[in-house]
Each structure stands twice: as structure tokens, then as C-alpha cells.
């Protein structure tokens, strides 16, 4: 029984570099595609397939996202000066936008759109949370305090990772994991295949 398990483990830990699943994982994970066989089958292949599905969906809505981003940048005072439907023109690069509050003709605006929207937005939020819905205002304040507390707690927990008993426990788990799960071996195709003469 153990011999069969060893054989199966050995077979599963060796994969062909030309296989569809290796190409998918290598495309998504890049240099991090290699590693342990267990994580390859349990995590990397499913994540790669999900990533491909996500890429297919996102490709269909990429133009909508570009228009949305250019609109957001306009609200914050930056005008897009390239072709919006040209995928080669990045909407995230600063060089495709005029300077802050600069018009296309080079003159400057006195106010950015967000500055004009800030006054009624703040007045509306204060009205809603203080007068109209005071219970919601208390909840928003409680949530804000809770999130700040969680961030502080995460900071102290991550600082505790260097505590010696935790370091030893992590090393023990890592050793056990290395014994159970073999490293992944990617078998490359030979450069020149032998031909029978």
C-alpha cells in the first residue's frame, strides 16, 4: 500500500511542461508557478482557471472601466488628453492627463469638480447622520472605531510572529509539510527528439 502511495505521489509530482495546466499556471503565477505538488494541484490550478475566467469577463468590460476611471479623474481635476478607446493609451499613466485643474487650452480652472461637490456632500452626510438618522450615525462611528482597532490589533499580531515559540512552531509545521508534499518537477521537452533511421 505504501509503495503504491509513493508511486502515485511520484507520478503526480512530475508534470510535462507542454501540458495545458502547466501553461495556465505559469502564465498566471509566473516565477512562482514552481513549488510543491500539493499547492500546485490544490491551489494553483484552480486559481489559474478562475483567473482565466475572470480575465475573459474583464476583457468584455474594459472600455466601461476606462470611461469610469477617466470620469473619476475628471471629477478630481485631471483631464484625459489621449484617445479613450485606444487600449495602448493607459488611463492610469500621469502623462496622459493634463496637470491638476489645467484646461485643454493651457489655462487653469479656479475649482476642480470635486471641490464643488464637497460642500453639498458634507452637508447632506451631516444632515443624514446627525438629524435624520442618529442611530446610523452612531453605527458609522462604531464601525470606524472597530476598523481602527482591528488595524492596530493586526499590527501587534504580526509583530508577535517573531516571538520564539511561534517561530519554532512555524518551523515544525514547515518541516512536516516538506516531508508530506514533494516538490513539483516540471519535465521540459527535449530540444532534439530522436528520429528512427
The tens digit of pLDDT for each residue in 120-132 reads: 887 787 777 777 7
Is residue 11 within 8 A of residue 41, CB to CB? The reply is no
Residue 50: pLDDT band (50, 70, 90) is very high
Answer yes or no: is pLDDT of 42 > 60.
Answer: yes
The backbone torsions φ and ψ at residue 109, rounded to the nearest 5 degrees and listed phi first, read -80, 150
Amino acid 133: pLDDT: 80
Is residue 112 within 8 A of residue 72, CB to CB? The reply is no
On whether the pTM is more than 0.75, the answer is no
| pLDDT (mean) for 183-188 | 82
Amino acid at each position: 500500500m505504501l509503495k503504491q502511495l509513493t508511486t502515485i505521489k511520484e507520478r503526480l509530482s512530475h508534470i510535462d511542461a507542454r501540458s495545458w495546466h502547466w501553461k495556465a499556471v505559469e502564465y498566471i503565477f509566473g516565477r512562482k508557478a514552481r513549488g510543491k505538488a500539493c499547492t500546485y494541484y490544490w491551489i494553483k490550478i484552480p486559481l489559474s482557471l478562475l483567473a482565466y475566467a475572470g480575465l475573459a469577463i474583464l476583457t468584455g468590460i474594459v472600455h466601461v472601466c476606462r470611461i469610469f476611471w477617466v470620469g473619476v479623474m475628471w471629477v478630481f481635476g485631471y483631464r484625459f488628453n489621449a484617445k479613450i478607446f485606444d487600449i495602448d493609451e493607459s488611463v492610469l499613466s500621469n502623462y496622459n492627463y493634463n496637470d491638476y485643474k489645467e484646461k485643454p487650452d493651457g489655462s487653469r480652472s479656479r475649482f476642480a469638480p470635486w471641490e464643488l461637490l464637497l460642500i453639498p456632500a458634507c452637508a447632506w452626510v451631516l444632515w443624514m447622520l446627525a438629524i435624520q438618522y442618529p442611530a446610523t450615525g452612531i453605527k458609522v462611528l462604531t464601525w470606524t472605531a472597530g476598523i481602527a482597532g482591528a488595524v492596530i490589533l493586526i499590527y501587534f499580531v504580526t509583530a508577535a510572529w517573531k516571538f520564539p515559540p511561534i517561530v519554532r512552531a512555524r518551523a515544525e509545521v514547515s518541516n512536516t509539510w516538506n516531508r508530506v508534499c514533494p516538490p513539483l518537477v516540471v519535465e521540459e521537452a527535449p530540444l532534439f527528439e530522436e528520429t528512427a533511421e
